[in-house]
Homo-oligomer: A and B are copies of this chain.
Amino acid sequence: MADHVPSDVCQERMVHPENLEFVRREMPDFEVLCDMADLFKALGERTRVRILFALSRTELCVCDLTEILGMSSSAVSHQLRVLRASKLVTFRREGKNVFYRLADDHVQKIFEQALEHVRE
Q: Which residues on A are within 8 Å of B, measured CB to CB?
A: 13-16, 19-20, 22-24, 26-28, 30, 32-46, 48-50, 53-54, 57-61, 63-64, 66-68, 87, 96-97, 104, 106-107, 109-111, 113-120
Contacts and interface: CB of A to CB of B under 8 A. Distances in A.
Residue among A58, A61, A87, A118 with the highest chain B CB neighbour number at 10 A: A118
A13 B113 contact: no
Given A60-B19, A106-B113, A118-B35, A45 B49 contact: no
A28 B115 contact: yes
B19 A58 contact: yes
Contacts of A14: 63, 96-97
A54 B27 contact: yes
Contacts of A19: 58-60, 64
